[in-house]
Amino acid sequence: MSHPAGTPPLLEIEGLRTHFATPRGVVRAVDGVNLRLERGEILGIVGESGSGKSVLAQSILRVIPPPQLQRADGHVRFDGQDLMTLDEAAMRRLRGARIAMVTQNPSTALNPVFTVRSQMLETLRFHPDRRRDGVDARSRMLSLLTETRLPAPERIARSYPFQLSGGMKQRVAIAMALMAEPDLLIADEPTTALDVTIQAQILELFRQVRRDHGTSVILITHDLGVVARLCDTVAVMYAGRIVEYNRTAQLFKQPRHPYTRGLLASNPVFGQPRPSLTAMPGQPPDLLALPAGCAFAPRCSQARSSCHEVEPGVVTMTAPFHHRCPVQAEDGLLEGVTR
Within 8 A by CB and 6+ apart from 92, the residues are: none
pLDDT > 70? residue 6? no
pLDDT > 70? residue 193? no
**What is the arithmetic mean of pLDDT over 69-98?**
94
- The whole-angstrom separation of Cα 40 and Cα 164 is 31
| 5-14, 111-120, 125-134: segment of lowest average pLDDT | 125-134
Q: What is the pLDDT of residues 43-59, one digit of tens each?
A: 999 999 999 999 999 99
pLDDT for 3 equals 58
pLDDT > 80? residue 257? yes
Question: According to DSSP H, which parts of 233-273 are helical?
Answer: 248-253, 258-265
| 247 vs 331: which has the higher pLDDT | 247
- The whole-angstrom separation of Cα 42 and Cα 99 is 14
Does the reported pTM lie above 0.85?
yes
DSSP state letter for 17: E
| 30-39, 78-87, 139-148, 269-278: segment of lowest average pLDDT | 269-278
Residue 5: pLDDT band (50, 70, 90) is: low
Alpha carbons within 13 angstroms on the beta-carbon side of residue 114 total 10
